[in-house]
Structure 1
Amino acid sequence: MSYANRQQMGSNRTVSIIVVALLHIVLGYALVTGLAYNVLKKAASDLKTFDVTEPPPPPEEKPPPEKPNTPPPPQVVAPPPMVRMITMAPQIQTVSVAPPPVITVRVAPPAPPAPPQPVKRDSARAKGSLIGLFSSEDYPNSALSANEQGTTAVQLTIGTDGRVSGCNITSSSGSSALDNATCNILRRRARFSPAMDSNGAPTTDTYSQRITWRVPAE
């Protein structure tokens, strides 16, 4: 900075100091003389009184309306992936099967027919009367004591020797003692001419007989 400029700044500062000092002197004098009091009173009377009214409070803000409880939107579910069904034709395997073995069944020839049985030519015949073989002495004692009587029918089997080989009761007299006595006497005493077949050989035969038992009179 040049010298001239610095000298000018110093003179300005001096002037300012002088002005401030004069103001202090004037104010001091006014205070002493009461001038300042009048000036202040006049200034106070000139002041206008203003009623200070507090502004009304701001209106209360209404609460925002409640939002309706709306269900959340459904979730978007992606569709399942498409499955492509591939149908495979079944593979048919050809298996060679051997033909079943041939089974030969040999059927035995039928048996030759049995030779024809000789036909009976002559029936067995009793030698004498069979009723005459019985007497009062043959009456069983148990049947006499019980006063039992009746007719016993029998079928006799005649052997090739003409003797009785079997006795079958076909009709009972009602007394077992009389029936048993009939068969026992005929087996022991009866004799027959055996039956003959077509070849002239003796053969077995049957013979029927009825024996009546009566309690002997005293």
Structure 2
Amino acid sequence: MAFTDSNNTSARAPAVIGVAAIHAVLGLALVTGLAGGVYEKIVEERIIGHNFKKPPPPKPPEPKPVNDPQASTAPKVFTPAPPFQLDPQPPVVDTTDVMPDPMPLPMPNAGPIPSPSPGLGTGPAPAAVFDPVAPKPRNDPGRWITDSDYRSSWINREWAGTAGFRLSIGANGRVQECTVVDSTGHPALDAATCKLVRRRARFEAALNDKGEKVPGTFSSAVRWQIPE
């Protein structure tokens, strides 16, 4: 029996080796297949990132034109530019009637003109001209009528006023005539005015344009005021 078992073991050795080889091949194929399957799965699940630019914001909508019925219907007025600039200043026109003196005509050369010699004529010499002078007082007009000339009756009646007068002065400087041109309202005061002035006034006679004494006139006024 021991011999028989020994023979069987030797006969089964190649079969065992073949089975082991098959198992080894299968195991290697299994390991390789599993490894390849896991690698492919990892590759498929990997996420690849990309950089994308942010899109620009949208443009605002353009405003729609508003239709103005009045503007569309109103006619356009065209003003042409002036062809030239006008001068606002009017031209100066000489309206004078005075004509200039004509220029002297050239005379032929006749030698030097002799100087005039003093003549022996008998014509009158030109008279001297004076400015006319009106007559003027020689004494103080304020002393012609004073408060002492006021009569008591005039004071009691409260007569007062201003008397304007005009005097005619002779060539001798004396008063020839007196006229009241502005009355005080009281004939007695007016009459006293001329009476006193003619008596007391003294004048220098008037002079004409030849310097000669001539008659003239003088005007003034006196105020009759009740003394205090």
> When the two structures are superposed, what TM-score results if normalisation uses the length of structure 1?
0.43
Larger Rg belongs to: 1
